[in-house]
Homo-oligomer: A and B are copies of this chain.
């Protein structure tokens, strides 16, 4: 990617599907992704990757085995590797994700929601 700035709203405007992240930046072996989420995702974990969810707009609940994180705009959570979690969004949420390159969205869970080819915007 050229050394230029990225405007998140402009990138969010380029797609409308849910649970299908797009790559908007790469650094230090990590990827910056954005996604629109709506509805319930699947319970899953990432055996090797910590994953950060930063809410850009909306309200994202991340269900854990023992509690629920309720994230609003300007809030983030880091889900450590190995921790089961299920993102849930009653209304559409825009999130930024920060995780190692190649992280699979559904982790170790078989699901039709798996996205193997993440597009770059």
Residues of chain B within 8 A (CB-CB) of A19 are none
Q: Which of A22-30, A35-43, A104-112, A113-121 has 4 or more CB atoms under 8 Å from chain B?
A: A22-30
A25-65 vs B, Cβ < 8 Å mask (1 yes, 0 no): 11110101000000000000000011110001000000010
Does A9 touch B at the CB level, under 8 Å?
Answer: yes
A5 and B52 contacting across the interface, CB-CB below 8 Å: no
A80 and B3 contacting across the interface, CB-CB below 8 Å: yes
The chain B residue sitting closest to A1, CB to CB, is: B78
B32 and A83 contacting across the interface, CB-CB below 8 Å: no
Q: Measured between alpha carbons, how far is A99 from B30 in the docked complex, in Å?
A: 10
The chain B residue sitting closest to A71, CB to CB, is: B5
Q: Measured between alpha carbons, how far is A100 from B80 in the docked complex, in Å?
A: 17
Residues of chain B within 8 A (CB-CB) of A83 are 3
A72-104 vs B, Cβ < 8 Å mask (1 yes, 0 no): 001111111001000000000000001110000
Q: Measured between alpha carbons, how far is A57 from B99 in the docked complex, in Å?
A: 24
